[in-house]
Amino acid sequence: MSYDASHEKLSTRAITAGRPEGKAESGINQSISLNSTFTAGGPIGYGRSGNQTWSATESAISALEGGSTLIFSSGMAAITAALSILEPGARVVASHQGYSGVMTLLKQHHVSGRLVVTFVDISQTDQVMSALKGTDLLWLESPTNPCLDVAELPQLISAAKSLDILVMVDNTFATALTQRPLTMGADVVMNSVTKFLSGHSDVLLGSLSTENAEILQKLEDARQLLGSIAGPFEAWLALRGIRTFPLRFHKACENALELARRLSTHPKVARVRYPGLPTDSQHERAKKFMKTFGAVLSFEIVGSPADADRVCDRSSIILHATSLGGVESLWERRRRWPNESPSVPENLIRLSVGCEDVDDVWADIQRALSAI
């Protein structure tokens, strides 16, 4: 559903969007619509076609990202639907390093012949530009997961659109509070709603937002035919999470920047990857169009992969777990997953920074690093 709140700040939209109409004695929160079907004559008809709770959550995400939004049963479900609208044999340019689920799916499509995929280093603008000729889709993720590489989003999106190339952007790490790719000209924005938007590590959901009515219809058809629909309770939990999303995200970003600064001088840390650091190779580019630098950072330890695993196992406040974007801090050695890109250093730890007291988290990191 679309939502027009151009006069409101995003932090306000997160609270006001998707609320029920203000009728006398009506509840102020969207209820959970537990219905598999609906009486005839209305706009929904059947539970795979729509749900009032979905609609409220979709309105809230649209208020942040722009355009119209569809939610899906997971981030991967949203990505699968997005790729499904491409014709067989379509040519795709994507980052050689990013969310491992996307990389794995694209590689499978390439091997099967469903798609022809060219992987590039999205931080190297000239390399991306030279790969665009004859391309049908440019898939961008910026900053990338987990190495925090930053793409020249405005320039790459503009170049792709001048060649009539479809552009989709994974905005999960950045979120709409950092950058809004639809306003840069992108066709579709994907969010893993599981992460920062929901923010409590209790939901699996994904979303696709677009300003293009034809693309929206194709994506809606894909959702219905693939059956990748969201549960109403999960949609309601996500909507509740969105209400506090700006507060959580700003606090986590503040913590991330401070922890990145402290880690950068620690003797057992070889490198910190966080575009908010002035010393980071991505900083000058990022500050041109990113309003914040996010709440995820990565760092490489002075030591082996086994040492990195040992560090992650020794924390008390930070949980040793995958995923990101919750109120709690999480970390892991990303190469413990077999499908992670080989371009990711073996001793790299990804840290999703939460909303705890930053001094407590820092003390926890110091204790863990003392294990090596």
* Cα-to-chain-centroid distance, residue 127: 24
- Cα dihedral sign for 115, 193, 260, 268? negative
Cα radius of gyration rounded to whole Å, the chain? 21
Residue range 56-60: average pLDDT? 98
The 10s digit of each residue's pLDDT in 255-268 is 999 999 999 999 99
User: In Å, how far are 259, 305, 350, 372 from 346, measured between CA atoms?
Assistant: 21, 6, 11, 16
Assess contact for 320 and 336: CB atoms under 8 A. Answer: no
Percent of the chain with pLDDT over 90: 95
In eight-state DSSP terms, residue 160 is: H
- Once rounded to an integer, what is the mean pLDDT over residues 148-163? 98
Determine the distance from the C-alpha atom of residue 62 to the mean position of all C-alpha atoms in its chain, rounded to a whole number: 15
CATH of domain 246-369: 3.90.1150.10
> What's CA 330's distance to the chain center, in Å?
16
Integer Cα distance of 61 and 163 in angstroms: 29
Strands 90-95 vs 68-72: parallel, antiparallel or unpaired: unpaired
What pLDDT, on the 0 to 100 scale, is given for residue 1? 47
Quick one: angle between helices 232-263 and 52-65, nearest 10? 30
Confidence class for position 21, pLDDT limits 50, 70, 90: confident
- Least confident window among 22-31, 97-106, 118-127: 22-31
Task: Label residues 4-16 b or e (16+ Cβ within 10 Å = b).
Answer: eeeeeebeebbbe
DSSP string, 196-228: TTT-SS----EEEEES-HHHHHHHHHHHHHHT-
Going from N- to C-terminal start, the domains of the chain cover: 10-241, 246-369
∠ CA 157-134-171 to the nearest 5 degrees? 30
Mean pLDDT value of segment 102-128? 97
Find all residues with CB under 8 Å of 189, minimum gap 6, and list them: 65, 67, 168, 169, 171, 180, 181, 182, 208, 209, 210
Q: What is the pLDDT of residues 220-256, one digit of tens each?
A: 999 999 999 999 999 999 999 999 999 999 999 999 9
Q: What angle do CA 127, 130, 131 make, to 5 degrees?
A: 90
Contact between 207 and 49 (Cβ < 8 Å): no
| Whether pLDDT at 204 is above 50 | yes
Instruction: Give mean pLDDT, residues 166-185.
Output: 98
Mean pLDDT within 350-365 = 98
Please state the φ and ψ torsions of residue 204, each to the nearest 5 degrees. -115, 115
Mean per-residue pLDDT of the chain: 96
Read off the pLDDT of each residue in 118-136 and give the average, rounded to a whole number.
97
**Quick one: the chain helix, strand, coil %, rounded to 5?**
40, 15, 45
Would you state the pLDDT for residue 3?
44
Examine the pLDDT at 4 and tell me if it is beyond 70: no
- pLDDT tier at 201 (50, 70, 90 boundaries)? very high
Over residues 12-20, the mean pLDDT reads: 94
For the residues 75-85, what does the mean pLDDT come to? 98
**pLDDT for the residue numbered 45:** 92
pLDDT of residue 5: 57
Name the DSSP letter for residue 328. S
By the 8 A CB rule, do 70 and 189 touch? no
The Cα 119–Cα 111 span in angstroms is: 13
> Higher-confidence residue: 24 or 150?
150
pTM, whole model, 2 decimals?
0.96
* DSSP letters for 293-323: --SEEEEEESS-HHHHHHHHHT-SSSEE-S-
- 10-241 placed in CATH 3.40.640.10: yes
Residue range 340-369: mean pLDDT, rounded: 97
The answer on pLDDT for 178 being more than 50 is yes
